[in-house]
Structure 1
């Protein structure tokens, strides 16, 4: 895995043998990006009626018949200033295409932000082949989400039923419906392969609690629904892990709970305000014992972003570079052990904890500095549009 992974406070992982593969966003026609991650694989069953009162399990065909009409084809066409023009004329650029799905009868449609990007126009094609222009109501690149809206009178809207992604379990059957390589409303089946993955978003921050699946998805599937056996949406397909740019049985979906929590703010303001601390960190694990045996377990601060909330609060980054398992680690920085009294053991726990706060919130970081325990008060800021590429002061 890459040494540094950017997140709302920007964090890094260290140690452990990992299989590195390309991680691709799935929009067709441009703006695909790459990062790195891990692996896995498995299948589906026929329709069943559970005895415990839970929703009945449907066949893939039954899910397709019910939900495919609510899956749409999204085409975006950005307009940018031509780089070679001395007059700065705006020239049409090649667009992207992907997938989305209908949320309600008011014309709201959910897709990935990287499908829409900086689009000047977005066209949405429905299952009856009718194509209408959609307005981009809101974008959250930090979670790769975009909310569109079409005139309800202009289309036959078939809203999908949203589920609860927190109930997903490894091994649960799922289906994905999307437009891979422009092939409209293609269904694939698989299972939930893993939970609580982390992905790098288009703006360099980290998406939390991602669902991993082996249901085949490919470029063009971005923004499509990942659906459980009861026909409810539990995720929005976003990225794949691949060594060749196409399906390798490892796909990732943003949990639907993340989207439903953010939808009111996207509708109201057009964006989402995320809390920002401004540090890069790494988890202290056994791989660091040989480098600095006395290092306490917790979250080691690598660097502090200039003029960030962490910098203003006096958090200190590392000063001595060391090579650990192929990763460059900065030693000598503060060790974060808690946030508002809650003990932290990993960088992922710190990421998840910070995601619960808002810009302007004051938090208390438990710090170990040179073996001495202390508390630092930090006022969180609003995260920038892009994760800082240069971590700045150690």
Structure 2
């Protein structure tokens, strides 16, 4: 019996060995499958990598080469040249002869706007120049004519005698979004155009200028350094969306952000300079201030963003459209108004006589009206170097005057180094002035040999008359 059991055990063991040997040596192994365990961060990274690879391959917005190719030949180097005469004798000095010497006063960049040589740059790049030289990206150099300047907006328009030039089309700066990729293109070293990349960091940025001129800039972290002023800020389609103009740095070099004039504003300025020789400003006919949480609480309004109207000029487009003191402007057309810079930035791209749609709050109820924009009237009294504009009735009441025009800004040739912006002129040559037309009429009809008497009124109510010869 024991022997039989042993024989059966041996037989079973042999069978197991046979089957195991077959499985190990002769049978094809089955593929080994691994359990897929989900690791959250690994899964997300893999998905993001796959998505990014697909995006880079299919979406041209991350490919800067085409935009750069479209742009570099349309950006130029601009030199501000001063000329002086070196007299070798008293005779040459007296008759204004002698050797002519040229010196580079400054340099910057510019953007070609048309194939026949229209170029936009910053006004500060060519300010005070005796001669302006423009060098293209192929090293050809031209003498440029200054067609016009807009010092308030830091824009200058140049023209060179050339044809078939590469140029940049204007894009829509109102469509620019925060986080959008951009290229800053300049020609700072008179070698070839340089390109830096970044994103839009902010829109409608007000730098708080001290000359009472309100600006609305695009802010970018694309590197802009001295010499790039007047260059192009373009989107990834190669469209001009801004003119690089300013950096904020104690050293004068790029520290992480820079600013550009929006293309819609620059386009409007260029068109005005070509058609009228100056810039026509469009206004709503309201005064007021930004809203914030503190002001909103004081005014007992629910909104903490927008433009609060403190007064409406009688007879203005805003008045005719029904806007009132206490209204809060929330949108102009489809542009959201969070602060004053949003409003001025958009209105600076519009022309007097155009109609805009105003969405506003009154008693916390949203309403809408259409406003025909007025023209901001200014006049320059060039003999004494000041610019004046008209006063609203509220401003006249504030000054305690029945008539007058207010000094809007000082001109470079001003009779005084003191900033007297904000003083009111009530009389010229003892004649009352109520408007810009009154000022023009009195000055144009004055005998050039006669002195000019101007009566100034200070915010404190003090009147003083000065004689200008």
TM-score class, shorter-chain normalisation, is: 0.5 to 0.7
Selected match of 1:391 from 410, 422, 426: 422
Selected match of 1:226 from 221, 226, 233: 233
Are the aligned partners of 1:278 and 1:310 in contact in 2 as well (CA < 8 Å)?
A: yes
Q: What is the DSSP-based 3-state SS (H/G/I as helix, E as strand, rest coil) of the residue aligned with 2:124?
A: helix
Are the aligned partners of 2:183 and 2:198 in contact in 1 as well (CA < 8 Å)?
A: yes
What is residue 116 of structure 1 aligned with on the other side? 126
Are the aligned partners of 1:78 and 1:120 in contact in 2 as well (CA < 8 Å)?
A: yes
| 1:126 partnered with 2:136 | yes
Are the aligned partners of 2:76 and 2:134 in contact in 1 as well (CA < 8 Å)?
A: yes
Are the aligned partners of 2:268 and 2:349 in contact in 1 as well (CA < 8 Å)?
A: no
- Quote the offset at 1:226 in angstroms: 0.8
Selected match of 2:260 from 253, 257, 274: 253
Give TM-score, length-normalised by structure 2: 0.52
What is residue 382 of structure 1 aligned with on the other side? 377
What is residue 290 of structure 2 aligned with on the other side? 283
Matches for 1:1-394 after TM superposition, within 5 Å: 56-57=60-61, 59-77=63-81, 95-152=105-162, 157-180=165-188, 184-199=192-207, 204-208=212-216, 210-275=217-282, 282-288=289-295, 337=328, 346-348=339-341, 351=344, 355=348, 381-383=376-378, 387-388=408-409, 390-392=421-423, 393=459
Q: What is the DSSP-based 3-state SS (H/G/I as helix, E as strand, rest coil) of the residue aligned with 1:74?
A: strand
Describe the superposition over 1:27-80 as per-residue Cα deviations: whole angstroms up to 9, x where unpaired.
xxxxxxxxxxxxxxxxx99995757xxxx4373344333421221001123689
Structure 1 residues 236 and 361 mapped into 2: Cα distance closer, same or farther (>3 Å)? Answer: closer
CA RMSD of aligned residues (A): 4.9
- Quote the offset at 1:299 in angstroms: 5.6
Structure 1 residues 107 and 218 mapped into 2: Cα distance closer, same or farther (>3 Å)? Answer: same
Hey, which of these two has a bigger chunk of helix by percent? 2
- Quote the offset at 1:148 in angstroms: 0.8
Describe the superposition over 1:265-313 as per-residue Cα deviations: whole angstroms up to 9, x where unpaired.
21122221224699985424333579x67799876789x9xxxx96999
Q: Distance in 2 between matches of 1:67 and 1:46?
A: 27
Are the aligned partners of 1:101 and 1:109 in contact in 2 as well (CA < 8 Å)?
A: yes
Q: Distance in 1 between matches of 2:269 and 2:224?
A: 25
Q: What is the DSSP-based 3-state SS (H/G/I as helix, E as strand, rest coil) of the residue aligned with 1:157?
A: coil
Are the aligned partners of 1:296 and 1:335 in contact in 2 as well (CA < 8 Å)?
A: no
Structure 1 residues 301 and 67 mapped into 2: Cα distance closer, same or farther (>3 Å)? Answer: closer
Q: What is the DSSP-based 3-state SS (H/G/I as helix, E as strand, rest coil) of the residue aligned with 1:147?
A: strand
Q: Distance in 2 between matches of 1:151 and 1:286?
A: 55
* RCO comparison, higher one (Cα < 8 Å, 6+): 1
Q: Distance in 2 between matches of 1:120 and 1:142?
A: 21
Are the aligned partners of 1:182 and 1:220 in contact in 2 as well (CA < 8 Å)?
A: no
Of structures 1 and 2, the larger Rg is shown by 2
Q: What is the DSSP-based 3-state SS (H/G/I as helix, E as strand, rest coil) of the residue aligned with 1:259?
A: helix
Structure 1 residues 66 and 355 mapped into 2: Cα distance closer, same or farther (>3 Å)? Answer: closer
Q: Distance in 1 between matches of 2:377 and 2:290?
A: 24
Are the aligned partners of 2:268 and 2:350 in contact in 1 as well (CA < 8 Å)?
A: no
Structure 1 residues 49 and 140 mapped into 2: Cα distance closer, same or farther (>3 Å)? Answer: farther
Structure 1 residues 145 and 49 mapped into 2: Cα distance closer, same or farther (>3 Å)? Answer: farther
Give TM-score, length-normalised by structure 1: 0.60
Structure 1 residues 356 and 247 mapped into 2: Cα distance closer, same or farther (>3 Å)? Answer: closer
Q: Distance in 2 between matches of 1:301 and 1:391?
A: 21
Describe the superposition over 1:111-167 as per-residue Cα deviations: whole angstroms up to 9, x where unpaired.
1122122433211011222211111112222322211110015xx722124322233
Unaligned runs of 5+ in 2: 1-51, 85-93, 317-324, 363-372, 381-386, 388-407, 410-418, 424-458, 461-469
- Quote the offset at 1:352 in angstroms: 5.1
Structure 1 residues 289 and 230 mapped into 2: Cα distance closer, same or farther (>3 Å)? Answer: closer
- Quote the offset at 1:239 in angstroms: 0.9
Worse-superposed segment, 186-195 or 62-71: 62-71
Q: Distance in 2 between matches of 1:141 and 1:166?
A: 23
